[in-house]
Amino acid sequence: MAEKKDGAALLTKKAKPRKSRDADCCSVNFLKCVLHIFNVVFLFAGIGVLAVGAWTVASRHRYVSLLPTPTYAAIAYLLILAGALGVPLAALGCCGLKTENRTSLLCYTYFLLISFILELGAGGLAYYYEVAVEPELRAELNNTFLGNYALDTTVTEAVDRMQAEFKCCGAVRPSDWRYSAWHEHDPRLLVPDSCCKTASSRCGVRDHPSNIHTHGCIRQFTNHIRDHLIILAAVGVGMSVIPIFGFLFSCVLYVKIKHVID
């Protein structure tokens, strides 16, 4: 009889007491309130990241065909994917908080981690590419101009748009056009019409400084891409901080729900 009492006492001693929902400063109710606020912040942050990614694709991708690697496009799509997770993830979080379902909270935690990785990856890649894009363009942009203009419709439209927008001519200098595949088809045209200060049909037969822009596009184009990459890097790295807080709070709540009583 004494042995049974000792065993029961030992089990009672080892068993962890279940706490009430408001037992301490980081109670279940407190964590649920914090995570509800976090969900609202995370939702709007996701919409912002999605908007930046979509803006990049919609208005800045007109020159992607001139870039030697798909890194710039990949950064934009990573941000779009990370931002698109905002709405379903916030809904999953609210559902898990309302029902206090630990499986939902676990899935919510994992997806917050994925969102963090996507945003940090996009920001880090943008930062890396911002440094690498200038030597890459110096090595390849002129070849793209001379080898693909008039042969590839997408490249042709991008080059014409660039020369008109940046008021430039050729990747390095206007005279480079004389060595292009495009020039061989019509040697009378010295530069594309988009090089002209006042664009008109076949205005490129004269390459005098009074008629055409005389500086190359590579410097302005490089600065244009680098400036936008800085924005993408700031958005990616900056927004990646937000999921960390949700991840930590949801982990704590996941553990605490198991040890509370109603």
Per residue in 16-49, pLDDT tens? 455 555 555 567 778 888 888 898 899 999 999 9
Torsion of CA 118, 121, 124, 130, to 10 degrees: -90
Across the range 234-257, mean pLDDT stands at: 89
**pTM value?**
0.79
User: How sure is the predictor about 260, in pLDDT bands with cuts at 50, 70 and 90?
Assistant: low
**pLDDT given at position 162:** 92
Tell me what the pLDDT averaged over the chain comes to.
84
Q: Which residue has the higher pLDDT, 6 or 248?
A: 248
- Is 102 a residue whose pLDDT tops 90? no
**pLDDT given at position 127:** 92
- Is 80 a residue whose pLDDT tops 50? yes
**pLDDT given at position 252:** 85
- Is 94 a residue whose pLDDT tops 90? no
Helices within the chain (DSSP H only): 2-14, 28-55, 71-84, 86-99, 102-148, 153-166, 181-185, 218-239, 241-257
Across the range 203-216, mean pLDDT stands at: 90
